[in-house]
């Protein structure tokens, strides 16, 4: 299933998206759910909303944290002039950095070199700690696209990455969460990032230095993961600058496209 969080001018709601590509009886609609599926059992209400009439929101607002993984593609490490790490490099992005499809990425006044980083995001389904690699599939709710926006000049100047990665709007997620993909399927997805329709990044999750299961297991070894927490699994090579007026689109096969405009902070 594709689980969307959306609005039609009222409070955010949740629903199951049916696309024309699914060849089902109700193409391009959202079948409304009665509650957040990450909060407990849900059921269909019987209401349907046209996808064209809904505003898609960030499919999840993490209850506590977004955990990012740095340099998980060897070619990206090389383009940054860095060695492949001997252990996963981890950082946090606050939940206030999360925005949804179509929302603006805001370049803060402190930043002079803003970068995109398209990547696969893993959404956690339940409270978990010290999850063995072979049981990671039991704690994954689904997958979505992400843009790990980075103030590169700030990241490079600070001794750690929190500020350069954590500004408001620096974690677009969407367009929905795909819950039907197996762990093996998620480990073989194409990632493409386009800026103003020009291809800038092209990679596949099979190229990750440390696969999804290993990352989630490693992260859960030091912090309890909660329902709705998000793990960003790393970006392929091809990162680069974006400026106000640009449009960034991250497309992941079997999931969809996350697109966001860029604008400058006012004031």
Q: Determine the pLDDT at residue 77.
A: 87
Q: What is the pLDDT of residues 2-35, one digit of tens each?
A: 999 999 998 999 999 999 999 999 999 999 999 9
Give the pLDDT band of residue 82 (cuts 50, 70, 90).
confident
- Is 128 in contact with 103 (CB distance < 8 Å)? no
Q: Which neighbouring-strand residues pair with 106?
A: 263
Query: Does pLDDT of 84 surpass 90?
Result: no
Q: Determine the pLDDT at residue 63.
A: 85
- Output the furthest CA–CA distance in the chain (Å, rounded): 54
For residues 35 and 20, give the distance between their C-alpha atoms in angstroms, rounded to a whole number.
25
Q: Both ends of the chain: CA-CA distance in Å?
A: 42
- Please state the pTM of the whole predicted model: 0.97
Q: What is the pLDDT of residues 209-228, one digit of tens each?
A: 999 999 999 999 999 999 99
Q: Judging by beta carbons within 10 Å of its beta carbon (0-12, 13-18, 19+), is residue 210 exposed, middle or buried? A: middle
3-class secondary structure, 207: helix
Written as six digits, the tokens of 66 are 């977004």
CATH of domain 66-264: 3.90.850.10
For residues 202 and 189, give the distance between their C-alpha atoms in angstroms, rounded to a whole number.
11
User: Which residues have CB under 8 Å from 63's CB, separation 6+?
Assistant: 95, 226, 227, 228, 229
- Is 179 in contact with 1 (CB distance < 8 Å)? yes
For residues 244 and 55, give the distance between their C-alpha atoms in angstroms, rounded to a whole number.
23
CATH 3.90.850.10, the chain: domain bounds = 66-264
Q: Of 77-86, 105-114, 150-159, which gets the smallest average pLDDT?
A: 77-86
User: Which residues have CB under 8 Å from 128's CB, separation 6+?
Assistant: 139, 220, 224, 225
User: Which residues have CB under 8 Å from 257's CB, separation 6+?
Assistant: 145, 175, 249, 250, 251
For residues 258 and 220, give the distance between their C-alpha atoms in angstroms, rounded to a whole number.
27
Query: Does pLDDT of 267 surpass 80?
Result: no
- Is 38 in contact with 60 (CB distance < 8 Å)? yes
């Amino acid at each position: 299933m594709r689980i969307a969080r959306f609005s039609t001018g009222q409070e955010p709601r949740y629903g199951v998206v049916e696309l024309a590509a699914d060849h089902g009886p109700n193409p391009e609609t959202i079948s409304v759910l009665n509650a957040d599926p990450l909060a407990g059992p849900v059921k269909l209400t019987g209401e349907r909303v046209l996808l064209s009439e809904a505003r898609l929101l960030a499919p999840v607002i993490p209850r506590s944290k977004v955990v990012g993984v740095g340099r998980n593609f060897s070619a990206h490490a090389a383009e940054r002039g860095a060695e492949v790490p001997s252990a996963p490099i981890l950082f946090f992005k606050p939940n206030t950095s999360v925005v949804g499809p179509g929302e603006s990425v805001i370049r803060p006044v402190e930043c002079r070199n803003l970068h995109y980083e398209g990547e696969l995001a893993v959404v956690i389904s339940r409270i978990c700690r010290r999850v063995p690699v072979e049981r990671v599939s039991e704690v994954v709710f689904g997958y979505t696209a992400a843009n790990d926006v980075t103030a590169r000049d700030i990241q490079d100047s600070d001794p750690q990455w929190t500020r350069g990665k954590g500004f408001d709007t620096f974690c677009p997620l969407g367009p929905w969460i795909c819950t039907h993909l197996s762990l093996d399927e998620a480990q073989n997805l194409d990632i493409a990032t386009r800026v103003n329709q020009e291809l800038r990044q092209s990679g596949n999750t099979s190229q990750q230095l440390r696969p999804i299961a290993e990352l989630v297991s490693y992260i859960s070894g030091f912090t309890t993961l909660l329902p709705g927490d998000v793990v960003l699994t790393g970006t392929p090579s091809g990162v680069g600058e974006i400026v106000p007026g640009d449009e960034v689109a991250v497309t992941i096969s079997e999931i969809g496209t996350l697109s966001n405009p860029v604008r400058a902070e006012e004031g």
